[in-house]
Amino acid sequence: MDIAGVLLVGGESRRFGRQKAFAHWKDKEFYQWSFEALNEETQNTVIISHPSIEENLKMMYDQVYLDDLKYRGKGPLAGLYTGMKKIKANWYAILPCDTPNITRDVLAELKELRDERFDAIVPVIEGKKQPLIALYHKRTLPFIIENLEEGNLRMSSLLDSISVLFANNLKSPSSAFLNINDQDTYQKCRSF
């Protein structure tokens, strides 16, 4: 398979106070915006879920998995690892569940930038790297494992260990990358 989608829904949502995946945004729930973008721009999408919402998601989707036991609770890197283990592809598009303005256009732009010289395509929006809205080649798997084994759980550690194309000039608006982690931001942005 050329490209697979990995939707990360395995977080604790501590700052949000309840599972943000199911928060409402326009006529959908947060995670659905990401799922649809992945579904439209990849050949197959897996959902890597938190145990507390696994059953809910399984009622709607076939490919719902928990983080591999070996790395459960270790954050998004564990989710990316699990996605790569569950589905075989050359490239993986990953998205978090808390960027409800995300569109398929963002992924389409990243796909266009794929280049075999790079292991990952990562947007930079207003100076901030976006490693959870990105593409990773399958050859990054050993580096992901190495980072997990060494306890380097930050996505930035992975980026330091692979060859990354940082995409600074995407046509998609920066609003597509809006990341909602807490109730204040949610209430403020919802009222726009």
Enumerate the known binding-site residues: 8-10, 20, 67, 98
* Cβ closest to ligand GTP, residue 84 vs residue 89: 84
Distance CA 118, CA 125 (A): 19
Distance CA 161, CA 69 (A): 24
**Binding to ligand GTP (CB under 6 A): which residues in 83-102?**
96-98
Distance CA 142, CA 97 (A): 25
Our finding on whether 12 is near ligand GTP (CB under 6 A) is yes
Our finding on whether 132 is near ligand GTP (CB under 6 A) is yes
Distance CA 3, CA 135 (A): 9
- Please give the annotated binding residues for Mg(2+), written as ranges: 98
Q: Please identify which residue in 75, 104, 114, 141 interacts with ligand GTP, judged by CB under 6 A.
A: 75
Our finding on whether 184 is near ligand GTP (CB under 6 A) is no
Distance CA 73, CA 79 (A): 9
> Applying CB under 6 A, what is the total number of residues that bind ligand GTP?
22
73 near 67, Cβ under 8 Å? yes
Q: Which stretch binds ligand GTP (CB under 6 A): 54-62, 70-78, 85-93, 138-146?
A: 70-78
Task: Give 160's contacts (C-beta < 8 A, 6+ positions apart).
Answer: none
Q: Is 168 exposed, middle or buried (0-12, 13-18, 19+ CB in 10 A)?
A: exposed
* Cβ closest to ligand GTP, residue 115 vs residue 190: 190
Q: Residue 149: phi, psi to the nearest 5?
A: -65, -35
Smallest gap from residue 185 Cβ to ligand GTP (A):
11
* Cβ closest to ligand GTP, residue 52 vs residue 169: 52
**Binding to ligand GTP (CB under 6 A): which residues in 144-183?**
181
Binding site residues, ligand GTP, CB under 6 A: 8-16, 48, 67, 73-76, 78-79, 96-98, 132, 181
